[in-house]
Amino acid sequence: SKDIDVLRKLLGEGGEPDGKKIGKALVKLADHIDGLDNAELVKGVKTRLHSLARLLRSEGEELTA
């Protein structure tokens, strides 16, 4: 979809994605999810986003430690 292409472009700008780029992409994705009608689909996507956020947070803590 168009929104996913925008996210890919945002993450791919300027080399490796950093925390700010990832955060902006997640906010855009969350805004897109709010527009979905199917409650079960939304719940599944939100669960995956929370898992991704936990992974990113743990990776970031390891990098800065």
pLDDT 10s digits, 3-21: 666 666 766 666 666 677 7
Q: How far apart are CA 25 and CA 44, in angstroms?
A: 18
Q: What's this model's pTM, rounded to 2 decimal places?
A: 0.41
Q: Do residues 26 and 53 lie in contact, with contact meaning Cβ atoms separated by under 8 Å?
A: yes
As a whole number, the mean pLDDT across the chain is 70
Q: Kindly indicate the confidence band of residue 61, based on its pLDDT and cuts at 50, 70 and 90.
A: low
- For residue 52, pLDDT over 70 is answered with yes
